[in-house]
A and B are shown apart, each in its own frame.
Chain A
Amino acid sequence: MPARTYRAAVIGLGRMGSTFDDEIRQGGQFFMPYCHAPTYVAAPQTELVAGADPHAEQGAIFAERWGLEERQIYADYREMLEAERPDFVSMCTTARLRASIMIDAINAGVKAIWAEKPFTLSLDEADEVIELAARKGVAIAVNCSRRYNVFFTEARRMVDEGELGEILQITAYTRCTLSANGSHAIDTMRYLAGGDVEWVFGEMESDEKAAGDEDLMGNGYMAFDNGVRGFLRGTPTGAAQWEFDLIGTEGRVRSLAQGMETQYYRWVPGGPRGRNLPARAPFPLPTTIPSMGPAVIEDLVQCIDTGAPPRCSDQDGRKALEIAIAMRESHRQGGCRIDLPLPDRSLRLLSSETANDSVPARIRRLSGQ
Chain B
Amino acid sequence: MPGKVFRAAVIGLGRMGSTFDDEITRGGQFFMPYCHGPTYVASPHTDLVAGADPHAEQGEIFADRWGLERGQIYADYREMLEAERPDFVSLCTTARHRAAIMIDAINAGVKAIWAEKPFTLSLAEADEVLELGTRKGVAIAVNCSRRYNVFFNQARRMVDEGELGEILQITAYTQCNLSHNGSHAIDAMRYLVGGDVEWVFGEMESDEKAAGEEDLMGNGYLAFDNGARGFIRGTHTGAAPWEFDLIGTEGRVRNLAQGMETQYYRWVPGGLRNQGLPARAPFPLPTHIPSSGLSVIEDLVDCIETGRQPRCSGQDGRKALEIAIAMRESHRQGGRRVDLPLADRSLRILSSEILSDAVPARVRRMQSK
Interface residues of A (CB under 8 A from B): 23-26, 28-29, 164-166, 168-169, 171, 173, 199, 201, 203, 219, 221, 223, 229, 231, 233, 235-241, 245, 247-252, 256-258, 260, 265-267, 271-273, 275, 277-278, 334-337
Contacts and interface: CB of A to CB of B under 8 A. Distances in A.
What interface size band does chain B fall in? 35 or more
B271 interface: yes
Given A223-B203, A272-B24, 19 more contacts: A28-B272, A29-B272, A165-B238, A199-B335, A229-B235, A233-B168, A233-B229, A237-B247, A238-B248, A239-B278, A240-B245, A240-B278, A247-B239, A250-B239, A266-B239, A271-B258, A278-B241, A334-B336, A337-B336
Given A238-B249, A257-B277, A26 B272 contact: yes
Contact of A249 (B166, B223, B238, B248): B238
Contacts of A273: 23-24
Interface in B152-189: 164-166, 168-169, 171, 173
A277 B165 contact: no
Closest 9 A/B residue pairs (Cβ): A337-B335, A335-B337, A249-B238, A238-B249, A252-B239, A239-B252, A231-B231, A336-B336, A239-B278
Contacts of B249: 236, 238-239
A240 B247 contact: yes
B239 A248 contact: yes
B260 interface: yes
B266 interface: yes
A238 B168 contact: yes
A169 B223 contact: no
Given A223-B203, A252-B240, A203 B252 contact: no
B6 interface: no
Given A239-B265, A252-B238, A277-B257, A335 B278 contact: no
Contacts of A271: 257-258, 260
Given A238-B248, A241-B278, A203 B239 contact: no
B236 A168 contact: yes
B273 A233 contact: no
Nearest to A236: B168
A260 B265 CA distance: 15
A272 B203 contact: no
A229 B238 contact: no
Nearest to B337: A335
Contacts of B237: 168-169, 247
Nearest to B232: A231
30 contacts: A168-B236, A168-B238, A171-B171, A173-B247, A199-B335, A203-B223, A203-B229, A221-B221, A231-B221, A233-B231, A235-B229, A236-B249, A238-B169, A238-B252, A239-B252, A239-B265, A240-B245, A241-B271, A241-B278, A247-B238, A257-B278, A258-B271, A266-B239, A267-B239, A271-B258, A272-B258, A272-B260, A277-B257, A335-B201, A335-B336
Interface string B195-221: 000010101000000000000000101
Interface of B: 23-26, 28-29, 164-166, 168-169, 171, 173, 199, 201, 203, 219, 221, 223, 229, 231, 233, 235-241, 245, 247-252, 256-258, 260, 265-267, 271-273, 275, 277-278, 334-337
Nearest to B247: A240
A353 B111 CA distance: 63
A5 B5 CA distance: 89
A272 B252 contact: no
Contacts of B238: 165-166, 168-169, 247-250, 252
Contacts of B258: 271-272
B325 to A, nearest CB: 17
A164 to B, nearest CB: 8
Nearest to B258: A272
A122 to B, nearest CB: 26
Instruction: Give the interface centre of B165, B231, B250, B335 by most chain A CB atoms within 10 Å.
Output: B335
Contacts of A223: 203
Contacts of B240: 169, 245, 247, 252, 278
A139 B219 CA distance: 39
A272 B29 contact: yes
B239 A265 contact: yes
A237 B169 contact: yes
Contacts of B245: 240
B262 to A, nearest CB: 14
Instruction: Give the interface centre of A248, A265, A277 by most chain B CB atoms within 10 Å.
Output: A277
A24 B25 CA distance: 49
B259 to A, nearest CB: 8
B195 to A, nearest CB: 15
A359 to B, nearest CB: 23
Contact of B235 (A168, A201, A250, A257): A168
Contacts of A275: 241
Instruction: Give the interface centre of A26, A229, A278, A334 by most chain B CB atoms within 10 Å.
Output: A278
Contacts of B275: 241
Given A272-B26, A277-B257, A219 B229 contact: yes
A169 B233 contact: yes
Contact of B173 (A29, A247, A277): A247
B282 to A, nearest CB: 16
A334 to B, nearest CB: 7
B171 A238 contact: no
A236 B171 CA distance: 15
